[in-house]
Amino acid sequence: MKVLIPSALRSYTERSMAEAQGTTLAELLIDLDRQYSGIRFRMVDEQDRIRRHIRIFINGAQITDLQHRLQETDEVIIVQALSGG
């Protein structure tokens, strides 16, 4: 399925859209990491939770559960909050 990649993570993918597979959000992120080594760690912490500055939307709804089931037709958008001063 297509995954929209935020500009802050495009250093991994070198593009705004990536293709990944998985029956759950966790599997999808593992597949992304298989293709783009290190990208998952930027989105998921050591406790296997989505990092607080990352938002993942599936079909327009924010999802926080890595075990959320996915369908082939789902639209996945990853958003990274910017911080600083």
Residue 85 pLDDT level (bands cut at 50, 70, 90): low
pLDDT per residue over 2-25, tens digit each? Answer: 999 999 999 999 999 999 999 999
Question: Residue 31: inside a domain, yes or no?
Answer: yes
Q: Which domain holds residue 11?
A: 2-80
For the chain, list the strands marked E by DSSP.
Answer: 2-4, 17-19, 54-58, 61-63, 76-80
**Model confidence, pTM:** 0.91
Instruction: Count the domains in the chain.
Output: 1
Question: Residue 24: inside a domain, yes or no?
Answer: yes
Q: Domain of 23: which CATH number? A: 3.10.20.30
Question: Residue 85: inside a domain, yes or no?
Answer: no
Question: Residue 66: inside a domain, yes or no?
Answer: yes
